[in-house]
Amino acid sequence: VQLQASGGGLVQAGGSLRLSCAASGDILSNWHIGWFRQAPGQERDLVAAITWREGKTYYADSVKGRFTISRDAAGNMVYLRMNGLKPEDTAVYYCATRRLPVRTPFSSRVSEYGDWGQGTQVTVSS
């Protein structure tokens, strides 16, 4: 599976963006898809994740109520709608798969995700 993130850009604080993650190849029903972000000099952190089968979601506390993750299973797409953007949301955003053989609780461990594609830069000005 190859993933490609897009949709980043420069936006003022309070603005919105929608990121897209296009997957080529089969995504199996038990897999999770996660959106991560990494700011300069900082670790890569999970922002949101979604289960491919049921569309259950997970959000980091820092984005709850502002970001929404969704998927289009037919189109092999995952989206991250970001509202109320803050300067601290500035980072490169990546999508990644968590390949699982069975239903599994969410994990925020970067090491459990793979198929990383190129990220997309999000810059929020104050």
Q: What is the pLDDT along the chain (126 residues), one digit of tens a residue?
A: 999 999 999 999 999 999 999 999 899 999 999 999 999 999 999 999 999 999 999 999 999 999 999 999 999 999 999 999 999 999 999 999 999 999 999 999 999 999 998 999 999 999
CA pair distance 94, 50, nearest whole angstrom: 14
Please state whether beta strands 17-24 and 2-6 pair in parallel, antiparallel, or not at all (unpaired).
antiparallel
Q: Are 52 and 73 in contact (CB under 8 A)?
A: yes
**pLDDT score recorded for residue 117:** 83
Residue 39 DSSP code:
-
Query: Residue 120: CB partners within 8 Å, gap ≥ 6?
Result: 5, 6, 7, 8, 19, 92, 93, 94
Looking from the CA of 118 toward its CB, the CA atoms found within 13 Å total 5
